[in-house]
Structure 1
Amino acid sequence: MTLKLTPYFKTNGNAKELIKFYQSVLDAQLIHIQTYGDMPIPFPDEFKENVAHAIVKVGETNLMFSDSPGQPVQVGDNLTINISLDNIEKAKLIFDGLRQDGTIISPLEATPFSPAFGTVTDKFGTTFTITAES
């Protein structure tokens, strides 16, 4: 089983600007970018150019980015930890463990980009996104 932890930045519509900043300052390389307009489910026109998902490589580390349309992000809530797994059952176990005495932000469910994706804040206040890759 493969398990990776990745810093995940959420922004209020300026993810592309943040990515460009990290490209210039940290010599980051853009690996992948997908806008809400690229998604198979419809989003309002004002969000179509916003980043739904991006991956940037800094040295040996990947960083993830997305804009959060309709859900304002506050300083302190803009960085989460993404847990990527290649096992759906293990993703469910980790999600269920983290939600104990915590708060489910979005349930663990199939999405257009993952067979199991969800967001939970644990009882200590740390927010995690869980992403099954297969």
Structure 2
Amino acid sequence: MPSSVEPARPAGHHTPGPPGPAPATPPSGDGSRVIPFGRRTTRTGRGRRTPQPPQPERVVAPDSPQQRLALDVEAWFLAHQATLTDEAAAHVYRTTLDFLQLMLTSSHAEERLSPDEYQHLTGMMQVLRDAPDTL
């Protein structure tokens, strides 16, 4: 059988049927043994998903200060039978840090913390807050 990638035969030229015995009944109509098959595809394209590239993950350098701090915080949580990889624990952890940040902001507003102290402590709080995402 010719491949579908071979060129079409000129009009009026018919290839003989498959090898083997001839059919018991002669073909009807114009004597042609060609059965017209339309090229219908069963795939419409609807419902097929296009592969999506993976979303880039947050990159933290190995052994960076943030990574080491995140591991220290996680070790603390593990020692207390908890983990920051648990969404509920991470939520409570962040909520607590948000409250501590509010205390720092209030202390700074009351001039109990110098601007440098406030900046330093706020930076530390942000690194601590990011610990669950770093793990």
Provide the TM-score with structure 2 as the length reference: 0.21
| Higher normalized strand content (fraction of residues) | 1
| Higher normalized helix content (fraction of residues) | 2
Provide the TM-score with structure 1 as the length reference: 0.21
